Structure 1
Amino acid sequence: MDLLTALRTHRIVAIVRGADPDAALRTVLTLAEERLALIEVSLSGQDALGVIRRARAALGPGAPLGAGTVLTAQDARAAHDAGADFVVTPAVCEGVTEAKRLGLPVLAGVMTPTDVVAAQRLGADAFKLFPAAQAGGPGYLKALHGPFPDAPFVPVGGVDAEAARTYLAHGAAAVGVGSPLIGDAADGGDLDGLRERARAFLGAVRATAAADTGR
Protein backbone atom coordinates (compact mmCIF):
# COMPACT_ATOMS: atom_id res chain seq x y z
CA MET A 1 0.00 0.00 0.00
CA ASP A 2 0.99 3.63 -0.44
CA LEU A 3 1.09 4.64 3.22
CA LEU A 4 1.95 8.28 2.63
CA THR A 5 -0.99 8.80 0.29
CA ALA A 6 -3.29 7.03 2.75
CA LEU A 7 -2.11 9.24 5.62
CA ARG A 8 -2.63 12.43 3.66
CA THR A 9 -6.02 11.27 2.43
CA HIS A 10 -7.56 9.96 5.65
CA ARG A 11 -5.63 12.11 8.19
CA ILE A 12 -6.32 9.86 11.21
CA VAL A 13 -4.70 6.62 12.37
CA ALA A 14 -6.92 4.98 14.98
CA ILE A 15 -4.84 3.06 17.53
CA VAL A 16 -6.53 0.03 19.10
CA ARG A 17 -4.95 -1.52 22.19
CA GLY A 18 -7.18 -3.74 24.28
CA ALA A 19 -7.21 -6.25 27.11
CA ASP A 20 -10.14 -8.15 25.53
CA PRO A 21 -9.41 -9.54 22.03
CA ASP A 22 -13.09 -9.89 21.14
CA ALA A 23 -13.78 -6.31 22.22
CA ALA A 24 -10.70 -5.11 20.32
CA LEU A 25 -12.01 -6.81 17.17
CA ARG A 26 -15.43 -5.21 17.64
CA THR A 27 -13.67 -1.87 18.05
CA VAL A 28 -11.78 -2.30 14.79
CA LEU A 29 -14.93 -3.21 12.91
CA THR A 30 -16.88 -0.32 14.43
CA LEU A 31 -14.17 2.15 13.44
CA ALA A 32 -14.27 0.79 9.91
CA GLU A 33 -18.05 1.17 9.84
CA GLU A 34 -17.62 4.81 10.88
CA ARG A 35 -15.23 5.30 7.94
CA LEU A 36 -12.04 5.65 9.93
CA ALA A 37 -10.04 3.95 7.24
CA LEU A 38 -6.57 3.67 8.81
CA ILE A 39 -6.54 1.40 11.85
CA GLU A 40 -3.53 0.21 13.84
CA VAL A 41 -3.72 -2.71 16.27
CA SER A 42 -0.97 -2.41 18.85
CA LEU A 43 0.99 -5.57 19.54
CA SER A 44 0.97 -4.62 23.22
CA GLY A 45 -2.73 -5.53 23.36
CA GLN A 46 -4.01 -8.98 24.31
CA ASP A 47 -3.70 -11.46 21.41
CA ALA A 48 -3.09 -8.58 19.03
CA LEU A 49 -1.93 -10.82 16.20
CA GLY A 50 -5.15 -12.81 16.49
CA VAL A 51 -7.12 -9.57 16.36
CA ILE A 52 -5.26 -8.55 13.19
CA ARG A 53 -5.93 -11.93 11.55
CA ARG A 54 -9.62 -11.85 12.40
CA ALA A 55 -9.98 -8.21 11.38
CA ARG A 56 -8.27 -8.89 8.08
CA ALA A 57 -10.67 -11.74 7.37
CA ALA A 58 -13.69 -9.59 8.28
CA LEU A 59 -12.61 -6.43 6.46
CA GLY A 60 -11.20 -8.04 3.34
CA PRO A 61 -8.01 -7.15 1.50
CA GLY A 62 -8.85 -3.54 0.63
CA ALA A 63 -8.96 -2.01 4.14
CA PRO A 64 -5.62 -0.64 5.41
CA LEU A 65 -4.79 -2.46 8.64
CA GLY A 66 -1.59 -1.87 10.57
CA ALA A 67 0.34 -3.42 13.43
CA GLY A 68 1.67 -1.06 16.09
CA THR A 69 4.36 -1.25 18.77
CA VAL A 70 6.57 -3.18 16.36
CA LEU A 71 10.02 -3.21 17.94
CA THR A 72 11.87 -6.32 16.80
CA ALA A 73 12.43 -8.16 13.54
CA GLN A 74 10.29 -10.96 14.96
CA ASP A 75 7.48 -8.47 15.59
CA ALA A 76 7.66 -7.29 11.99
CA ARG A 77 7.57 -10.85 10.61
CA ALA A 78 4.65 -11.78 12.85
CA ALA A 79 2.73 -8.67 11.76
CA HIS A 80 3.37 -9.48 8.12
CA ASP A 81 2.23 -13.08 8.57
CA ALA A 82 -0.94 -11.93 10.36
CA GLY A 83 -1.94 -9.79 7.40
CA ALA A 84 -0.88 -6.27 8.40
CA ASP A 85 -0.52 -3.80 5.54
CA PHE A 86 1.83 -1.46 7.40
CA VAL A 87 3.69 -1.29 10.69
CA VAL A 88 4.12 1.43 13.28
CA THR A 89 7.13 1.54 15.59
CA PRO A 90 7.61 3.56 18.79
CA ALA A 91 11.26 4.23 17.92
CA VAL A 92 13.95 3.78 15.29
CA CYS A 93 14.57 0.06 15.78
CA GLU A 94 15.14 -3.20 13.96
CA GLY A 95 11.42 -3.50 13.37
CA VAL A 96 11.78 -0.73 10.79
CA THR A 97 14.52 -2.54 8.89
CA GLU A 98 12.76 -5.91 8.84
CA ALA A 99 9.41 -4.45 7.86
CA LYS A 100 10.99 -2.67 4.90
CA ARG A 101 12.75 -5.90 3.91
CA LEU A 102 9.34 -7.60 3.88
CA GLY A 103 7.88 -4.88 1.70
CA LEU A 104 5.74 -3.28 4.41
CA PRO A 105 5.54 0.51 4.68
CA VAL A 106 6.60 1.93 8.04
CA LEU A 107 5.45 4.78 10.24
CA ALA A 108 8.58 5.05 12.40
CA GLY A 109 8.62 6.57 15.87
CA VAL A 110 10.82 9.66 16.25
CA MET A 111 11.35 12.43 18.78
CA THR A 112 14.45 14.37 17.72
CA PRO A 113 16.00 15.55 14.45
CA THR A 114 18.61 12.81 14.89
CA ASP A 115 15.81 10.25 15.03
CA VAL A 116 14.29 11.64 11.83
CA VAL A 117 17.59 11.31 9.95
CA ALA A 118 18.10 7.77 11.25
CA ALA A 119 14.58 6.77 10.22
CA GLN A 120 15.05 8.30 6.78
CA ARG A 121 18.21 6.23 6.30
CA LEU A 122 16.25 3.05 7.08
CA GLY A 123 13.60 3.94 4.51
CA ALA A 124 10.72 4.92 6.81
CA ASP A 125 7.72 6.16 4.86
CA ALA A 126 6.51 8.61 7.52
CA PHE A 127 7.45 9.70 11.02
CA LYS A 128 5.40 9.13 14.17
CA LEU A 129 6.16 12.10 16.43
CA PHE A 130 5.85 10.46 19.83
CA PRO A 131 5.01 11.42 22.49
CA ALA A 132 3.80 14.58 20.76
CA ALA A 133 2.26 16.40 23.72
CA GLN A 134 5.31 15.89 25.91
CA ALA A 135 7.63 16.92 23.06
CA GLY A 136 6.05 20.36 22.86
CA GLY A 137 2.87 19.90 20.86
CA PRO A 138 2.11 21.80 17.64
CA GLY A 139 4.95 24.25 18.30
CA TYR A 140 7.49 21.44 18.22
CA LEU A 141 5.94 20.05 15.05
CA LYS A 142 6.33 23.46 13.44
CA ALA A 143 9.96 23.64 14.59
CA LEU A 144 10.76 20.22 13.10
CA HIS A 145 9.34 21.34 9.77
CA GLY A 146 12.15 23.91 9.65
CA PRO A 147 14.95 21.42 8.88
CA PHE A 148 12.52 18.83 7.45
CA PRO A 149 9.95 20.85 5.46
CA ASP A 150 8.70 17.91 3.41
CA ALA A 151 8.79 15.24 6.11
CA PRO A 152 5.39 13.60 6.74
CA PHE A 153 4.94 13.78 10.51
CA VAL A 154 2.14 12.01 12.40
CA PRO A 155 1.82 13.32 15.97
CA VAL A 156 0.75 10.65 18.48
CA GLY A 157 0.15 10.90 22.22
CA GLY A 158 -2.49 12.99 23.95
CA VAL A 159 -4.28 13.91 20.71
CA ASP A 160 -7.95 14.71 21.25
CA ALA A 161 -10.28 16.06 18.56
CA GLU A 162 -9.31 19.70 19.13
CA ALA A 163 -5.58 18.88 19.20
CA ALA A 164 -6.02 16.86 16.00
CA ARG A 165 -7.43 19.90 14.26
CA THR A 166 -4.51 22.05 15.49
CA TYR A 167 -1.83 19.55 14.45
CA LEU A 168 -3.36 19.14 11.00
CA ALA A 169 -3.52 22.91 10.60
CA HIS A 170 0.20 23.04 11.50
CA GLY A 171 1.13 20.71 8.67
CA ALA A 172 0.87 17.20 10.10
CA ALA A 173 0.28 14.56 7.43
CA ALA A 174 -2.11 12.84 9.85
CA VAL A 175 -2.56 12.26 13.56
CA GLY A 176 -2.49 9.03 15.53
CA VAL A 177 -5.21 8.71 18.15
CA GLY A 178 -5.53 6.13 20.90
CA SER A 179 -7.47 6.52 24.14
CA PRO A 180 -9.12 9.90 23.36
CA LEU A 181 -10.87 8.07 20.51
CA ILE A 182 -11.04 4.45 21.66
CA GLY A 183 -11.92 5.05 25.31
CA ASP A 184 -12.74 1.72 26.97
CA ALA A 185 -14.23 0.13 23.84
CA ALA A 186 -11.29 -2.25 23.28
CA ASP A 187 -11.64 -3.47 26.87
CA GLY A 188 -15.33 -4.25 26.48
CA GLY A 189 -16.77 -0.75 26.86
CA ASP A 190 -19.48 1.19 25.07
CA LEU A 191 -19.45 1.10 21.27
CA ASP A 192 -22.04 3.86 20.95
CA GLY A 193 -19.63 6.21 22.70
CA LEU A 194 -16.91 5.07 20.33
CA ARG A 195 -19.10 5.95 17.36
CA GLU A 196 -19.73 9.43 18.76
CA ARG A 197 -16.02 10.06 19.31
CA ALA A 198 -15.18 8.76 15.84
CA ARG A 199 -17.64 11.23 14.32
CA ALA A 200 -16.11 14.06 16.36
CA PHE A 201 -12.64 13.26 15.04
CA LEU A 202 -13.90 13.00 11.48
CA GLY A 203 -15.59 16.37 12.00
CA ALA A 204 -12.23 17.84 13.01
CA VAL A 205 -10.68 16.52 9.81
CA ARG A 206 -13.50 17.99 7.72
CA ALA A 207 -13.17 21.34 9.46
CA THR A 208 -9.45 21.43 8.75
CA ALA A 209 -10.03 20.57 5.09
CA ALA A 210 -12.66 23.31 4.83
CA ALA A 211 -10.30 25.84 6.39
CA ASP A 212 -7.53 24.85 3.97
CA THR A 213 -9.91 25.22 1.03
CA GLY A 214 -10.94 28.67 2.19
CA ARG A 215 -7.41 30.03 2.31
Structure 2
Amino acid sequence: MQNLSVLDIMRTSAVIPVIAIDDLAHAVPLARALVAGGIRVLEVTLRTAHGLPAIRAIAEQVPDAIVGVGTLTQPQEFAAARDAGAVFGVSPGLTPALIAAAKSSGLPLLPGVMTPSEVMAAREAGFRQLKLFPAVPAGGIGMLNALAGPLGDMMFCPTGGVSQENAAQFLACRNVACVGGSWLTPKDALAAGDWGRITALARAASALRQPA
Protein backbone atom coordinates (compact mmCIF):
# COMPACT_ATOMS: atom_id res chain seq x y z
CA MET A 1 0.00 0.00 0.00
CA GLN A 2 2.92 2.33 0.65
CA ASN A 3 3.74 2.35 -3.07
CA LEU A 4 0.36 3.60 -4.28
CA SER A 5 0.51 6.69 -6.46
CA VAL A 6 -1.97 9.54 -6.10
CA LEU A 7 -3.69 8.41 -9.30
CA ASP A 8 -3.92 4.83 -8.02
CA ILE A 9 -5.56 6.13 -4.85
CA MET A 10 -7.99 8.36 -6.77
CA ARG A 11 -9.04 5.48 -8.98
CA THR A 12 -9.65 3.15 -6.05
CA SER A 13 -12.95 4.79 -5.18
CA ALA A 14 -15.31 7.22 -6.86
CA VAL A 15 -15.71 9.10 -3.58
CA ILE A 16 -13.13 10.04 -0.95
CA PRO A 17 -14.89 10.96 2.30
CA VAL A 18 -13.57 14.08 4.00
CA ILE A 19 -13.55 13.17 7.68
CA ALA A 20 -13.30 15.46 10.72
CA ILE A 21 -13.00 13.46 13.94
CA ASP A 22 -14.50 15.16 17.00
CA ASP A 23 -14.30 12.05 19.20
CA LEU A 24 -11.30 9.77 18.85
CA ALA A 25 -13.42 6.77 19.84
CA HIS A 26 -15.31 7.18 16.55
CA ALA A 27 -12.27 6.81 14.31
CA VAL A 28 -11.94 3.03 14.05
CA PRO A 29 -15.66 2.09 13.92
CA LEU A 30 -16.22 4.86 11.36
CA ALA A 31 -13.39 3.56 9.19
CA ARG A 32 -14.70 0.02 9.48
CA ALA A 33 -18.20 1.15 8.52
CA LEU A 34 -16.92 2.97 5.43
CA VAL A 35 -14.76 0.04 4.34
CA ALA A 36 -17.73 -2.32 4.83
CA GLY A 37 -19.63 -0.15 2.35
CA GLY A 38 -16.86 -0.35 -0.23
CA ILE A 39 -15.13 2.96 0.51
CA ARG A 40 -11.47 2.22 1.30
CA VAL A 41 -9.82 5.59 0.70
CA LEU A 42 -10.30 7.87 3.71
CA GLU A 43 -9.16 11.47 4.11
CA VAL A 44 -8.86 12.27 7.81
CA THR A 45 -8.46 16.01 8.17
CA LEU A 46 -6.35 17.98 10.60
CA ARG A 47 -9.29 20.28 11.32
CA THR A 48 -9.58 18.85 14.84
CA ALA A 49 -7.03 17.90 17.48
CA HIS A 50 -7.87 14.23 16.93
CA GLY A 51 -6.67 14.11 13.33
CA LEU A 52 -3.25 12.51 13.81
CA PRO A 53 -4.31 10.09 16.57
CA ALA A 54 -7.26 9.03 14.40
CA ILE A 55 -4.96 8.36 11.45
CA ARG A 56 -2.70 6.27 13.65
CA ALA A 57 -5.61 4.25 15.05
CA ILE A 58 -7.13 3.58 11.63
CA ALA A 59 -3.77 2.67 10.10
CA GLU A 60 -3.11 0.20 12.90
CA GLN A 61 -6.58 -1.32 13.28
CA VAL A 62 -8.28 -1.13 9.85
CA PRO A 63 -5.83 -2.76 7.43
CA ASP A 64 -8.18 -2.56 4.45
CA ALA A 65 -8.39 1.23 4.71
CA ILE A 66 -6.14 3.50 2.66
CA VAL A 67 -5.87 6.37 5.10
CA GLY A 68 -4.64 9.79 4.14
CA VAL A 69 -4.35 13.15 5.84
CA GLY A 70 -6.32 16.21 4.80
CA THR A 71 -6.08 19.94 5.47
CA LEU A 72 -2.29 19.98 5.22
CA THR A 73 -1.39 23.66 5.46
CA GLN A 74 2.01 23.68 7.20
CA PRO A 75 5.24 21.94 6.15
CA GLN A 76 5.83 20.22 9.49
CA GLU A 77 2.51 18.39 9.23
CA PHE A 78 3.72 16.17 6.38
CA ALA A 79 6.27 14.13 8.32
CA ALA A 80 3.99 13.93 11.35
CA ALA A 81 1.14 12.55 9.24
CA ARG A 82 3.43 10.08 7.49
CA ASP A 83 4.75 8.87 10.81
CA ALA A 84 1.17 8.42 12.05
CA GLY A 85 0.49 6.08 9.14
CA ALA A 86 -0.96 8.31 6.41
CA VAL A 87 -0.12 7.08 2.91
CA PHE A 88 -1.20 10.22 1.06
CA GLY A 89 -1.90 13.86 1.79
CA VAL A 90 -4.42 16.45 0.64
CA SER A 91 -4.00 20.21 0.91
CA PRO A 92 -6.48 23.05 0.25
CA GLY A 93 -3.83 24.94 -1.70
CA LEU A 94 -0.20 24.77 -2.79
CA THR A 95 2.83 26.82 -1.76
CA PRO A 96 6.57 26.40 -2.34
CA ALA A 97 6.99 25.31 1.29
CA LEU A 98 4.34 22.61 0.90
CA ILE A 99 5.95 21.39 -2.34
CA ALA A 100 9.29 21.05 -0.53
CA ALA A 101 7.67 19.28 2.42
CA ALA A 102 5.90 16.81 0.14
CA LYS A 103 9.17 15.97 -1.58
CA SER A 104 11.21 15.66 1.61
CA SER A 105 8.61 13.57 3.44
CA GLY A 106 7.86 11.29 0.50
CA LEU A 107 4.14 11.64 1.20
CA PRO A 108 2.20 11.63 -2.10
CA LEU A 109 0.25 14.89 -2.26
CA LEU A 110 -3.07 15.84 -3.86
CA PRO A 111 -2.83 19.64 -3.75
CA GLY A 112 -5.73 22.04 -3.99
CA VAL A 113 -6.14 24.52 -6.83
CA MET A 114 -8.91 26.91 -7.85
CA THR A 115 -7.82 28.76 -11.00
CA PRO A 116 -6.18 27.91 -14.34
CA SER A 117 -3.02 29.72 -13.24
CA GLU A 118 -2.85 27.58 -10.10
CA VAL A 119 -3.34 24.44 -12.18
CA MET A 120 -0.45 25.50 -14.43
CA ALA A 121 1.78 26.32 -11.44
CA ALA A 122 1.03 22.90 -9.91
CA ARG A 123 1.83 21.21 -13.20
CA GLU A 124 5.15 23.05 -13.39
CA ALA A 125 5.89 21.71 -9.88
CA GLY A 126 5.35 18.16 -11.12
CA PHE A 127 1.78 17.48 -10.08
CA ARG A 128 -0.68 15.90 -12.53
CA GLN A 129 -3.49 15.08 -10.09
CA LEU A 130 -5.13 17.97 -8.27
CA LYS A 131 -8.00 18.76 -5.94
CA LEU A 132 -10.33 21.45 -7.33
CA PHE A 133 -11.25 23.34 -4.17
CA PRO A 134 -13.66 24.76 -3.36
CA ALA A 135 -15.17 23.05 -6.38
CA VAL A 136 -18.59 24.65 -6.63
CA PRO A 137 -17.47 28.24 -5.85
CA ALA A 138 -14.62 27.72 -8.33
CA GLY A 139 -17.12 27.07 -11.13
CA GLY A 140 -17.94 23.41 -10.61
CA ILE A 141 -18.62 21.28 -13.64
CA GLY A 142 -18.33 24.27 -15.97
CA MET A 143 -14.83 25.02 -14.70
CA LEU A 144 -13.75 21.37 -15.00
CA ASN A 145 -15.00 21.16 -18.58
CA ALA A 146 -13.25 24.43 -19.42
CA LEU A 147 -9.96 23.20 -17.93
CA ALA A 148 -10.17 19.95 -19.91
CA GLY A 149 -9.36 21.76 -23.15
CA PRO A 150 -6.09 23.62 -22.54
CA LEU A 151 -5.02 21.45 -19.57
CA GLY A 152 -6.24 18.07 -20.69
CA ASP A 153 -3.38 16.15 -19.07
CA MET A 154 -4.56 17.04 -15.57
CA MET A 155 -6.94 14.94 -13.44
CA PHE A 156 -9.05 16.31 -10.62
CA CYS A 157 -10.79 15.41 -7.40
CA PRO A 158 -13.40 18.17 -6.98
CA THR A 159 -14.20 18.85 -3.33
CA GLY A 160 -16.30 21.57 -1.74
CA GLY A 161 -20.00 21.63 -2.55
CA VAL A 162 -19.98 18.10 -3.97
CA SER A 163 -22.92 16.11 -2.58
CA GLN A 164 -24.81 12.88 -2.92
CA GLU A 165 -27.11 14.70 -5.34
CA ASN A 166 -24.49 16.07 -7.76
CA ALA A 167 -21.57 13.62 -7.38
CA ALA A 168 -22.51 11.61 -10.47
CA GLN A 169 -22.52 14.77 -12.60
CA PHE A 170 -19.01 15.64 -11.45
CA LEU A 171 -17.82 12.08 -12.06
CA ALA A 172 -19.10 12.30 -15.63
CA CYS A 173 -16.43 14.92 -16.42
CA ARG A 174 -13.61 13.31 -18.37
CA ASN A 175 -10.93 14.96 -16.22
CA VAL A 176 -12.42 13.82 -12.89
CA ALA A 177 -11.01 10.64 -11.32
CA CYS A 178 -12.99 10.88 -8.07
CA VAL A 179 -14.80 13.39 -5.86
CA GLY A 180 -14.40 14.36 -2.23
CA GLY A 181 -17.20 15.08 0.19
CA SER A 182 -18.39 14.99 3.77
CA TRP A 183 -21.86 13.59 3.18
CA LEU A 184 -20.69 10.04 3.97
CA THR A 185 -20.00 10.98 7.59
CA PRO A 186 -22.94 13.06 8.88
CA LYS A 187 -22.30 14.40 12.37
CA ASP A 188 -25.58 13.11 13.77
CA ALA A 189 -24.77 9.57 12.62
CA LEU A 190 -21.35 9.76 14.26
CA ALA A 191 -22.79 11.14 17.48
CA ALA A 192 -25.34 8.31 17.59
CA GLY A 193 -22.83 5.63 16.60
CA ASP A 194 -25.10 4.75 13.68
CA TRP A 195 -22.47 2.84 11.75
CA GLY A 196 -25.11 1.02 9.71
CA ARG A 197 -26.27 4.31 8.22
CA ILE A 198 -22.70 5.23 7.33
CA THR A 199 -22.15 1.83 5.67
CA ALA A 200 -25.33 2.39 3.65
CA LEU A 201 -24.12 5.83 2.53
CA ALA A 202 -20.74 4.33 1.63
CA ARG A 203 -22.39 1.53 -0.33
CA ALA A 204 -24.40 4.06 -2.36
CA ALA A 205 -21.27 6.12 -3.00
CA SER A 206 -19.19 3.11 -4.02
CA ALA A 207 -21.88 2.20 -6.54
CA LEU A 208 -21.29 5.44 -8.44
CA ARG A 209 -19.69 4.58 -11.73
CA GLN A 210 -17.87 6.81 -14.13
CA PRO A 211 -18.61 6.42 -17.85
CA ALA A 212 -16.12 4.33 -19.81
Letter in 1 for 2:146: A
Q: Distance between the aligned counterparts of 1:122 and 1:187, measured in 2? A: 41
Within the alignment, does 1:136 sit opposite 2:139 as a pair? yes
Q: Distance between the aligned counterparts of 2:67 and 2:99, measured in 1? A: 17
Q: Does structure 1 conserve the Cα–Cα contact (< 8 Å) formed by 2:33 and 2:196?
A: no
What is the Cα deviation at residue 186 of structure 1? 4.4
Q: Distance between the aligned counterparts of 1:115 and 1:100, measured in 2? A: 19
Partner of 1:181: 184
Q: Does structure 2 conserve the Cα–Cα contact (< 8 Å) formed by 1:141 and 1:170?
A: yes
3-state DSSP class of the match of 1:135? coil
Mark the CA change 1:167 to 1:67 in structure 2 (over 3 Å): closer, same or farther: same
Find the partner of 2:198 among 178, 181, 194.
194
Within the alignment, does 1:59 sit opposite 2:84 as a pair? no
Q: Distance between the aligned counterparts of 1:64 and 1:167, measured in 2? A: 23
Mark the CA change 1:52 to 1:188 in structure 2 (over 3 Å): closer, same or farther: farther
TM-score with structure 2 length normalisation?
0.89
What is the Cα deviation at residue 14 of structure 1? 1.4
Identity across matched positions, percent: 37
**Deviation readout 1:61-84 (Å, 9 max, x if unpaired):** x64210000111111111111111
**Deviation readout 1:36-75 (Å, 9 max, x if unpaired):** 0111100112311000011000123x64210000111111
* Structure 1 segment 66-215 matched on structure 2, within 5 A: 66-93=68-95, 94-171=97-174, 172-178=176-182, 180-184=183-187, 185-187=189-191, 189-203=193-207, 205-206=208-209, 208=210, 212-213=211-212
Q: Distance between the aligned counterparts of 2:31 and 2:98, measured in 1? A: 23
Q: CA RMSD in A?
A: 1.8
Q: Does structure 2 conserve the Cα–Cα contact (< 8 Å) formed by 1:66 and 1:87?
A: yes
**Deviation readout 1:170-202 (Å, 9 max, x if unpaired):** 121110111x22111445552222122112212
51-60 vs 123-132, which moves further: 123-132
3-state DSSP class of the match of 2:42? strand
The unaligned stretches of length 5 or more in structure 2 are: none
TM-score with structure 1 length normalisation?
0.88
Q: Distance between the aligned counterparts of 1:183 and 1:18, measured in 2? A: 11
3-state DSSP class of the match of 1:4? helix
Letter in 1 for 2:46: L
> Which of the pair is proportionally richer in helix?
1
Letter in 2 for 1:193: R
